[in-house]
Structure formats: C-alpha cells, structure tokens
Amino acid sequence: MKEIEDRDLVNHYLHVHQLDSVFNEQLLPHLSLYRFKQGDLICSQGEPAQSLYVLVKGKVKIYTTSAEGKTLILSFKTPLELIGDIEYVRGTTNLNTVEAVTSVLMIGVQYRWLKKYGSGYVPFLQFLLEIITNKFYTKSNSMSFNLLYPVEVRLASYLLSVSFDESDALFKGQLGTANLSDAANLIGTSYRHLNRVIQQLCAEGLIERTKGVILVKDRERLAALASGNIYEKTGDVKS
C-alpha cells in the first residue's frame, strides 16, 4: 500500500463518483488516496478494522475463510464499493479478506474521524445505509448460491474476473498453474476436479494452458459459459 499525496486527485475521484456531498467539510481533510498493487491485501479476515475504504479504481476479490481453514470466493468488486462499512457500523474485526486483483485506488478515512465528524452527517449516513442494504439485498446468499453452479461455470467466472477489468482495457491478468490449489479452494472444488475441468475447457478452445499459466483464448464463449459472471453480478449502487 502506498499513500498518494495529491489532493486534486482525491477531489477528482470524489467528483467522478458523485461523492462530493457525502463527506462534509470537516471530513475532507482526513480523506487520503491509497494505491494497492496487484495481489496486495486491503484487509484480512479477523484483523482489527480501522479505516473505511472507497474503491474508486480497479478490481478487488473478496473471500472468506472457514474455521476449518477452507477459503471461498464471495465476489469480485469494481467501483463504486465500500470496504469496512459493516465493520464500522458494528464495531467488529474484518469480516472477510479483500485482495487487489488489479492495481487499485482507494480513498480511505480512519474510523476515528468518521465517528467524530460523520456520525451525525445525514448525507454520509444515507450513503452508508444504501451501500450496506444493497450488499445484504444482492449477496445475502452468495456463498450457497454460487456453489449451486457447476464447477465449469465457477471456473469460467473466476478466470474472467482475474483476467479482465472493464475499466482498464490494458489489464490482462492470468492464472498461474502454481496457484491451482488456491483457485480450487476459492471456488469450492477439489484440485483433481479442477484439473479435469481445465482440460475440458482447453479441449473446447476456451482457454490455453502453457508455460505455467492459464490464458483465456475465447473470452466471448467463456463469458457465455459463465452466465455473464456469477461472481460479479451485483445490484447498482447510486450515491
């Protein structure tokens, strides 16, 4: 994580995402812009939560870990999204782990400033309420819902999410074959079954396995298999 000390850029993203009125004048000086590199953790499940983050550029992956140590993808998120909102309201540790899939820009503000200057500011509270209710409305059963899809659909969605970012045409991600065990855990299947599905998709010409990586060869057909993308189907949030 690296802080970008550029107040004009902070104001730019506030304007782009129509957040000018969400934060009052007392809060504005306490907003900071942070860059996370691909693979960086924004927050880790179970660790203390101290800041609210607004995702303004890039894509993040949200996953959870069970008491048995098994991980499972919940969703991929693009702007506009809040990280740490539920933790702020409930006063809990981080509910999930959030990882940068692409290079990510976040506007962050510490909870202590939100409590001091934002707890009675109606536009901020309305924005927070809309974001949180939208999360519960669209993702209340995401874990069990996504597991109802066959593995090939889950894998296709996962590959689309880690390989492309609609806001950045230059981003071309890929899945390293060394990470297949992690990928199997994240989509809720066995390593052996995942390999069988990969072989199937390779045979159908949708993906290619070469030089230690898996590349998407036919994005359009992979998206059709993925039913769009089950991990990125969310409701719209308007500020």
Q: Does the pLDDT of residue 146 top 80, yes or no?
A: no
109 & 174 share domain: no
189 & 154 share domain: yes
Q: Does the pLDDT of residue 169 top 90, yes or no?
A: no
Q: What percent of the chain has pLDDT over 90?
A: 73
Tell me, yes or no, whether 72 lies in a domain: yes
With a CB cutoff of 8 Å and minimum separation 6, the contacts of 36 are 1, 42, 58, 100, 103, 104, 105, 106
218 & 152 share domain: yes
154 & 124 share domain: no
pLDDT classification of 66: cutoffs 50, 70, 90? confident
42 & 23 share domain: yes
* pLDDT for res 32: 97
Domain boundary among 88, 111, 140: 140
Q: Does the pLDDT of residue 191 top 50, yes or no?
A: yes
115 & 163 share domain: no
119 & 11 share domain: yes
* pLDDT for res 135: 83
74 & 49 share domain: yes
End-to-end CA separation in angstroms for the chain: 26
135 & 165 share domain: no
pLDDT tens column, 205-219: 999 999 889 999 999
Q: Does the pLDDT of residue 238 top 50, yes or no?
A: no
Structural domains in the chain (count): 2
β-sheet with 2-4: strand ranges across: 2-4, 32-36, 104-110, 51-57, 81-83
What are φ and ψ of residue 191, in 5° steps?
A: -60, -40
pLDDT classification of 140: cutoffs 50, 70, 90? low
Query: Which range marks the domain in which residue 194 is found?
Result: 145-225
122 & 152 share domain: no
Tell me, yes or no, whether 123 lies in a domain: yes
What is the average pLDDT across 154-160? 94
Domain boundary among 117, 140, 163: 140
What is the average pLDDT across 106-134? 95
136 & 149 share domain: no
Higher pLDDT residue, 235 or 69? 69
What is the average pLDDT across 135-145? 69
The answer to whether 123 and 19 have CB atoms below 8 angstroms apart is no
Higher pLDDT residue, 165 or 33? 33
Tell me, yes or no, whether 236 lies in a domain: no
CATH label of the domain that carries residue 22: 2.60.120.10
Tell me, yes or no, whether 237 lies in a domain: no
Tell me, yes or no, whether 19 lies in a domain: yes
Tell me, yes or no, whether 234 lies in a domain: no
123 & 108 share domain: yes
Strand duo 60-65 + 207-210: pairing = unpaired
Domain boundary among 73, 106, 140: 140
What is the average pLDDT across 115-142? 87
pLDDT classification of 143: cutoffs 50, 70, 90? low
